[in-house]
Structure 1
Amino acid sequence: MKNFFLLIITIFAINSIFSQENYVGYWQREDNSIYEVKNNQAILVKVGRVLKRGNFKIGDLKIKNIVVENGIIRGYRRVNTYDGNLLGWQKIRIVKRNNVANIIDDVTGKVLTSLRRINKKEALQIQNIVPKKLLGEWKRVNDGSIYSFEGDVAVIKRIGFQLERGKFHNNQIKIRNINQIGNESYSAQDRLNNKEGDLLLWNNVVINVENENLIIHSKRSNRVQKFHRVIAEDNKLLVAKENNVIRTDNEASVAVVADVDVNIPINNSVKSNTFALIIGNEDYSSFQIDLDNEVNVDFAANDAKIFKEYVVKTLGVPQKNVILITNATYGQMMQGISKLNKLSEISEGEAELIFYYAGHGLPDEITKEAYIMPVDISGSNVTSGIKIDDVYKKLLEFPNKKVTVFLDACFSGGARNQGLIAMRGVKIRPKENALFGNLVVFTSSSGNESSATLKEKQHGLFTYYLLKKLQETKGNISYKELADFLNHKIKLESVLINNKEQTPQTNVSPDVKDVWENWKFN
């Protein structure tokens, strides 16, 4: 009877301890692996010799769903194959006495391993880590969002276009539970929202700091976010490194604004039967972990966004008729093309279509066919991209009044800064497509040329002068007039600014060769 009461007291004590989350903290395994336990889960902050056999990594989730059920602590332990893939989640129970916790197979009752409680200072000493809080303001490379890291959390100080999609707001916590797991490494949780701004999930991430760069790696996918440090001087100045521009703190959230980005002419007429798909693929490195920032297509997202403003305001296309996608994946691009195709079908010959693309283009080395490249498709796998000839076929599958295509991309293997395949030393002259239907295509360059940028305007050279002419003429310009202007102006400016040739082309279907010159944008 005495032993029975001792058992009851022991169970009550365990329940009391764990219901107060007394297990939160650091625990050292027999092989010197270290778990950090909080939020009902255990994260690896050091990997010992046994866990190395399962190719576990710092920041991996080792135990999840830790709960107390009728005085018994249960959870699920991750078991890996030798190559680091998930084998399964083993149901366990945890029996803790004083500063020792045994991990027990909930089915067989076998003790799997034992953990010893240690404090944070011991944990850091074992890992040879110098304690350091993650502080300061960091600017995300692909959209200009600024996060302020404040030790345990990071809050939003400036909202870029990607955060706009999730309806985030300033001073909102974007990253929480930041914990040091290495001298320049931290585990954390990154907030992901749906399009309505509601919490989708807290995504487990690992943050690495490399000099003036900060990189966030998602544990769920290969997604990588890259940031540059924003340096505060005397609490008055912010230096945005990538633009070499010094701004006051009141100006820090203001991006460089080109003359074509403002004073956009407004046309009061409405073209209800005109539909547009606008794609700006700039950030390839965040979707392909093996790529550097240099392969990104500078200003392509801005090109697309400002071109959309002209399509809506100057050309009179209703907002609902315009599809804008920045940093589009293969699936998103195909969905957009299919939607434009469907709108063409149901318009029964009355539609006018506009297709705009800024981003990487590549040729197939064998067939010389030209492809436009989604941000999630590797340049070494060109034929997994989208063949430009297939885009034309989709746009022209059903009768249309006219189809206008703008391509601010080269298809030779060159690029605005660095090609998607850096090892390609010789540019390839892409195959010319046979056009048909009511189609006119404006391209930014010819043959094996590359397409350049106008850095002080933060646009591609081709797109800048396209927008400039639409601004000057308020859209009252013929296709021939625009073609002649682009051909002359870009050839001249490319040599003056970039010391290389860039020759825009206007390719016309034989079906409209006698009439296209008189087509008007307004």
Structure 2
Amino acid sequence: MQRETRYLDLQINKLGLTKDGKAVVAYDNNGVASYRLTEPGGVPPVIAILTPSNQQNIKKPELTVSVKIIDDTGINDVALELNGVEIEGGDSGIRDLKIRPTGDKRELDLSWNISLKRGLNKITVVAYDTENLVAKKSVDINFTEERGEIWGAVIGISQYQNIEGLRYADKDAMAVYEYLTKDNGIPENHISFLSNEDATLTRIKKVLGVDIKQKARKQDTVIIYLAGHGTSEPDSNSPDGDGMEKYFLTYDSDPDSLYATALPMKEMSQIFSRIDAERIILIQDTCYSGASGGRTIQVASVRAPISDTYLNRIIKGKGRVVITASRGNEVSMEKDSLEHGVFTYYILEALEQGDKNNDGLISHEELFNYVSEKVPQETGRNQHPVKYEEDVEEPIVIGKKRGE
């Protein structure tokens, strides 16, 4: 036993730990004790957290915790806790281990792969030896997510090649574009702007499905704004339960050949799935009901009730949000008195007046709460904005409060 004790002493000294006859004290790099035991007749396991180091700042949520554990009798159990909650599994796979010294080997190396929450995280390793003596070692880690960039596309169409035009969709788009680039200082090469004859089907698909896909990283935010005509046509294979496919009409769309010349919402969902960013918001001032007036046209011989569930197709994936101007069977209105589409007019107003928590920023929730109150009031309760979202951990920031 004397030989084993000398070996353990050497290992304790190598790890920067101290011991006396009745107690073992482990210190972190700042000289703060991680545990103290005053059990006569036994020495608890010695724990060294090799990675990460205490007070380390981390930019990514994924982290590997590597530890070395030493004991003179054998290790019975090891657990890892993250913020007070035990982590299941991990590379260690340890529960009720029975490990006893063989020859001069007294070390156990373990690792876990964990995911951190934003902010301060406490990682604790707990080890019991065969005498049920316990040791704990903790480190504090600060996870500050790498600051992402903003990418986007703003598209507004008032003039069409084959369809009667609108009055304010292009003006709406320009106002949103100027908010993003001028008020928020987002570089112009980060936000694509297409209006009228520039907003062809080919160009829109390239901007959304190629350019943004190539640029946007996981930590980035993508903002897409669409203003213009929408429509729908019968489709017996539609998964939405209404037998209709919905289309955003581009400058060169042909009402008699929608599948070939317009942007179907089923393709919008595919475009979203191609983008790596985990924060994507689509804001659309359009509608698909085919009712007279507003930002929709009727191309089918028989109108059918339009379901909002097509939005569920778009939001599949982490951090997806869609805010649209109206319910499925409603019309997205324009008003000469506002010189905008009603929905976009109150979006622009929300960017000035919608900061309810006074943090100087406008989140997607603040924006929606504002327009969902104002738009029905303005339209005699004939138009109600709709929001769908999936797996959104925290509100997506649209930008700074105007005037800040």
1:298, 1:417 within 8 Å by CA — same for their partners in 2? no
Do the aligned partners of 1:272 and 1:317 also contact (CA within 8 Å) in 2? no
Q: Identity over aligned residues, as a percent?
A: 24
Contact 1:454/1:464 (<8 A) preserved: no
TM-superposed CA distance for 1:417, in Å, is 4.0
1:466–1:428 CA distance, 2 compared to 1 (3 A) = same
- Structure 1: 5+ residue stretches without partners: 1-270
Report the equivalent of 2:287: 410
Q: Does 1:388 align with 2:259?
A: no
1:375 aligns with 2:251: yes
In structure 2, how many angstroms separate the alpha carbons of the residues matched to 1:380 and 1:365? 13
1:379 alignment partner, SS class: coil
Q: 1:460 to 1:425 in 2, by over 3 A?
A: farther
Q: Matches of 2:172 and 2:373 in 1, distance apart?
A: 21
1:363/1:428 contact within 8 Å kept? no
Deviation sequence 1:143-187 (CA, Å, 0-9, x none): xxxxxxxxxxxxxxxxxxxxxxxxxxxxxxxxxxxxxxxxxxxxx
Shift of 1:502: 0.3
Matches within 5 A, 1:67-78: none
Alignment CA distance shift 1:323-1:501 (3 Å): same
User: Partner amino acid for 1:488?
Assistant: E
Asked if the contact 1:479–1:516 (Cα under 8 Å) also holds between the matched residues in 2, the reply is: no
Query: Matches of residues 32-431 of structure 1 in structure 2 within 5 Å?
Result: 273-284=149-160, 287-288=161-162, 291=163, 295-327=164-196, 328-337=199-208, 338-344=210-216, 347=217, 349-366=218-235, 367=238, 368-384=244-260, 385-414=262-291, 416-417=293-294, 419-421=296-298, 426=303, 428-430=305-307, 431=309
Partner of 1:235: none
Instruction: Letter of the 1:442 partner, please give it.
Output: I
- Asked whether the equivalents of residues 234 and 300 of structure 2 are also in contact (C-alpha less than 8 Å), the reply is no
Instruction: Give how far 1:472 is off.
Output: 3.0
Kept after mapping to 1: 8 A contact 2:289/2:296: no
Long gaps (5+) in structure 2: 1-146, 239-243
Q: Deviations over 1:479-522 (max 9, x none)?
A: 22221111111011111xxxx6101001112x22xx34475644
CA–CA distance in structure 1, aligned partners of residues 148 and 395 of structure 2: 23
Q: Give the TM-score normalised by structure 2.
A: 0.54
Deviation at 1:404, TM superposition (A): 0.9
Matches within 5 A, 1:502-517: 502-509=383-390, 511-512=391-392, 515-517=393-395
Aligned match of 2:379: 494
Kindly provide the CA deviation profile for residues 357-388 of structure 1, in whole angstroms up to 9, marking residues without a partner as x.
00111123223222111121122322221122
> Distance between the aligned counterparts of 1:342 and 1:470, measured in 2?
29
**1:342 Cα offset (Å):** 1.7
Distance 2:295 2:148 in 1: 40
Q: 1:418 to 1:480 in 2, by over 3 A?
A: closer
Counterpart Cα distance in 2 of 1:494 and 1:392 = 30
Q: Which amino acid aligns with 1:436?
A: K
2:214 & 2:291 partners in 1: Cα distance?
33
Structure 1 residue 424 displacement after superposition: 5.0
SS in 2 for 1:369: strand
Shift of 1:413: 1.6
| Aligned equivalent of 1:68 | none
Is the Cα–Cα contact under 8 Å of residues 479 and 520 in structure 1 kept in the other structure?
Answer: yes
- C-alpha distance after superposition, 1:286-342 (max 9, x if no partner): x12xx5xxx212211101111100111233321121110001111121121121122
| RMSD between aligned residues | 2.4
1:52 corresponding residue in structure 2: none
Q: Is the 8 A contact 1:341 1:397 kept in 2?
A: yes
Equivalent-residue separation in structure 1 for 2:394 and 2:389 (angstroms): 8
Does 1:466 find its partner at 2:347?
Answer: yes
- Contact conserved, 1:297 with 1:416, CA < 8 A, in 2? no
Aligned to 2:102: none
Question: Aligned with 2:223: secondary structure?
Answer: strand
Q: Aligned partner of 1:394: which letter?
A: I
1:360, 1:415 within 8 Å by CA — same for their partners in 2? Answer: no
8 Å contact kept, 1:275–1:352: yes
Contact 1:479 1:521 in 2 (8 A): no
Q: Aligned with 1:396: secondary structure?
A: helix
Instruction: Say if 1:489 and 1:377 are closer, same or farther in 2 by CA, change over 3 A.
Output: same
Is this contact kept in 2: 1:415–1:452, CA < 8 A? no
Work out the CA distance in 1 between the residues paired with 2:399 and 2:302. 40
Q: CA deviation at 1:450?
A: 0.8
Query: 1:419, 1:429 → 2: CA distance?
Result: 12
2:365 partner amino acid: K
What amino acid sits opposite 2:212 in the alignment? L
Distance (whole Å) between structure 1 residues aligned to residue 201 and residue 396 of structure 2:
35
Structure 2 counterpart SS, 1:297: coil
**Residue of structure 1 aligned with 2:365, choices 480, 490, 496:** 480
Give 3-state SS (helix, strand or coil) of 1:420's partner: coil
Give how far 1:455 is off: 1.1
- Matched with 2:316 is 436
Report which of the two structures shows the higher radius of gyration computed on alpha carbons.
2
CA contact (8 A) 1:380 1:421 kept: no
Q: Provide Cα deviations, 1:433-486, integer angstroms capped at 9, x if missing partner.
A: 332221111100002111001212221000010011113358622322221111
What is the rounded CA distance, in whole Å, between the counterparts of 1:428 and 1:401 in structure 2? 33
Q: Please tell me the residue identity of whatever aligns with 1:502.
A: Q
Paired with 1:492 and 1:407, the residues of 2 have a C-alpha distance of 19
- Cα distance in 1 for partners of 2:269, 2:287 equals 17
